[in-house]
Amino acid sequence: MLKGKFEINLDFFKLKSPSLIGVDISSSSVKMVELSMVGKGNQSYRIERYVIESMPVDAMLDGAIVDLEAVSECLQRGWKRMGTRQRNVALALPATDVITKKIFVPAGQREDDLAYQVETEASQYIPFSLDEIDLDFQVIRPVPENPEEVEVLIAASRKEKVEDRVAVALSAGLKAAVMDVEPYAAQAAFELTLSQLPEGGKDKVVALVDIGATIMKINVLHNGESVYTRDQPFGGNQLTQEIHNQFNLSSEESEIAKRSGNLPENYKTDVLQPFCETLAIEVMRAIQFFYTSTQYTEVHYIFIAGGCAVIPGLNEIIASRTQVSTLIVNSFSNMELSSRIIPRQLNLDAPALLIACGLALRSFDPS
Ligand SMILES: Nc1ncnc2c1ncn2[C@@H]1O[C@H](COP(=O)(O)OP(=O)(O)OP(=O)(O)O)[C@@H](O)[C@H]1O
Ligand SMILES: [Mg+2]
């Protein structure tokens, strides 16, 4: 009654309202996710809103912003469609723009001593002068075999890469409150999915394969730690291009037809099937590279993410080629859905929202 009349969102158990939106600026679209935390004690989330706003062609190239104005306008359109008031956003840089390194330093140092030591270390291996880079670090844990030392993760990026993202947000009326790194954000959201596995996937080797528009990114995880990564230039744009070549459609028409499946009879056999086979072979090759460059000999599960994950039958083809159980990522599967969300549509969109979801989780960082 009250709710209908005054549009008050009655929710007595909400512990924390979202303090930022997760925003993934990627080559085919801008994706935004807003989460809130519900329930007491145990962490459980609700997805409040999300949006996928198409990016104009040529506005981005290989994860880098090329046309600042076009990207900013895309952000603004997406934010308006979200229907939120929240203007604080968490953004991420692609892994290729960030140099990371683990170092070991004596435990128990003062923050400024540690910062000084990090700078000294960083200047040894980063090929730019310190005033050209943004540097960040985080103490991860004590070194197991030497409790006198702690492991510190350093992340460094060219200043202009950070500034480009902050600037497009700003000119869209948004404030960048957090700058993360894409694979870390993806991993944070992916960890929510792992609870689907027996014992949360403990001791299992799990390959997360993100198949987007232009790049296929593989991240192999073992007990929450990334043990192998590899990027391959392969993605959904190849399928769109093939549709464009075979059926005499413009690029835009090809993209729409691909998603609706509204294409001639021979599409499945002549275009889709070969694309899925090639994709599965790429995944198989990546796993083979993983075996040859690490001590691991088995992958227990493959999870596919990214817009291509929902291509009908793709997970079965990957599973049969690799002989590994293949599942589609949905980091919202244990979340409550706000009444604004259409469950069927969310299931289709979820694999592409992985990074945006991981960024939205930054709302709940202990402050
Ligand atoms: N329903 C669908 N059926 C087939 N392909 C789809 C569907 N939905 C999205 N895609 C494809 O997924 C791709 C976009 O995926 P995603 O949003 O993960 O890419 P991106 O993050 O923009 O790209 P990248 O990670 O390469 O920078 C596009 O090629 C798009 O055509
Ligand atoms: Mg992507």
Index of the ligand 1 atom closest to the CA of residue 29: 22
- In single-letter form, the type of residue at position 271 comes to V
What's the token pair of residue 144? 């197991």
Q: Residues 201, 96, 182, 132: what is their CA dihedral angle, to the nearest 10 degrees?
A: 130
Q: Residues 33, 197, 290, 93: what is their CA dihedral angle, to the nearest 10 degrees?
A: 10
Q: What is the pLDDT of residue 141?
A: 84
Question: Residues 6 or more apart from 191 whose CB is under 8 A from it?
Answer: 224
Kindly report, residue by residue over 147-195, the tens digit of the pLDDT.
899 888 888 888 888 999 999 999 999 999 989 999 999 999 999 999 8
Q: What is the mean pLDDT of the chain?
A: 90
Closest ligand relative to 238 C-alpha:
1
Architecture of the domain delimited by 98-158: 2-Layer Sandwich (3.30)
User: Is it true that 98-158 and 204-329 share their CATH fold?
Assistant: no
Q: Which of 91, 258, 353 to mutate to test the pocket of ligand 1 (most atoms within 8 A of CB)?
A: 258
- What is the residue with the minimal CA distance to atom 15 of ligand 1? 307
Length of the chain: 367
In words, the CATH class of domain 204-329 is alpha beta
Q: How confident is the model at residue 34 (pLDDT cuts 50, 70, 90)?
A: very high
Cα separation, 120 vs 12, in Å, equals 50
| Every domain of the chain and the residues it spans | 1-95+159-196+330-367, 98-158, 204-329
Index of the ligand 1 atom closest to the CA of residue 216: 26
Kindly report, residue by residue over 198-223, the tens digit of the pLDDT.
898 999 999 999 999 999 999 999 99
Q: What is the pLDDT of residue 41?
A: 62
Q: What is the pLDDT of residue 8?
A: 33
| Strand 133-143 relative to strand 216-222, pairing | unpaired
Residue with tokens 């230039």: 233
Is there an atom of ligand 1 within 6 Å of 354 CB?
no
CATH of the domain spanning 1-95+159-196+330-367, picked from 3.10.20.30, 3.90.50.10, 1.20.140.10, 3.30.420.40: 3.30.420.40
Kindly report, residue by residue over 105-122, the tens digit of the pLDDT.
888 888 888 888 888 888
- DSSP for 219-287 reads EEEETTEEEEEEEES--HHHHHHHHHHHHT--HHHHHHHHHHT---TTHIIIIIHHHHHHHHHHHHHHH
Q: Measured in whole angstroms, how far is the alpha carbon of residue 127 from the centre of its chain?
A: 27
Q: Which of 26, 232, 303 to mutate to test the pocket of ligand 1 (most atoms within 8 A of CB)?
A: 26
Is there an atom of ligand 1 within 6 Å of 254 CB?
no
Is there an atom of ligand 1 within 6 Å of 236 CB?
yes
Q: How confident is the model at residue 50 (pLDDT cuts 50, 70, 90)?
A: very high
Beta-bridge mates of residue 29: 54
> Quick check: 74 and 59 in contact, CB under 8 A?
yes
Which stretches of the chain are assigned E, i.e. beta strand? 21-25, 29-38, 44-54, 60-61, 64-65, 88-93, 98-106, 133-143, 146-158, 175-181, 205-211, 216-222, 225-232, 301-305, 325-328, 336-337
Index of the ligand 1 atom closest to the CA of residue 306: 18
User: What's the 306 CA to ligand 2 centre distance in angstroms?
Assistant: 6
Index of the ligand 1 atom closest to the CA of residue 355: 21
